[in-house]
Amino acid sequence: MSNHAEPRPATTEIPQTDAFGNQPILSGIEISNQILNANLQQQATVHYQQAIFNLHLATVAKSIEVIMAIDPASPQAIEQLKMCRELVDSLREQYTPRTNR
C-alpha cells in the first residue's frame, strides 16, 4: 500500500450549491423567476389602472362636451340636463367601490 492518494480525475461538473453551500443553485433561479413574475404582474396591474383612468377621463371629457352643447335657450335644455345628471349618478353608482360593513 502506498501512502499516496490516487489523483482524482478532472471533472467539468458544476457544483449544485450556492456560495453558502446550503441551497441549490436552481433555487436561486426559481427565486429570480418568482421575482420576475411578480414584477410583470405589477406592471400589468399598473397598465390596467392607467387604461381605466384613461377611459374615465375620456368619459368625463365626452360628458362635458355633451353638456356644453346643450343650448340653454332650448325648451328641451332642462330635460337634457336631467338626463345627463341621471347618467352621471348611474355611472357613479356602478364605479364607486363598495365597502364591506
Q: From the CB of residue 22, how many other CB atoms can be counted at a distance below 10 Å?
A: 8
Please, are residues 17 and 23 in contact by the beta-carbon 8 Å criterion? Answer: yes
Where in 1-101 does DSSP place strands (E)?
A: none
% pLDDT > 70, the chain = 69
Spatial separation of the C-alpha atoms in residues 43 and 45, rounded to whole Å: 5
Cell 362635458 belongs to which residue?
64
Cell 411578480 belongs to which residue?
38
Q: What digits encode the pLDDT tens for the residues 16-55?
A: 555 555 556 667 788 888 999 999 999 999 999 999 899 8
**Helices 25-68, 77-95: crossing angle, 10 deg rounding:** 170
The whole-number pLDDT of residue 36 equals: 93
Is the model more confident about 10 or about 93? Answer: 93
Indicate the pTM of the whole model: 0.52
Q: pLDDT-based confidence at 62, cuts 50/70/90? A: confident
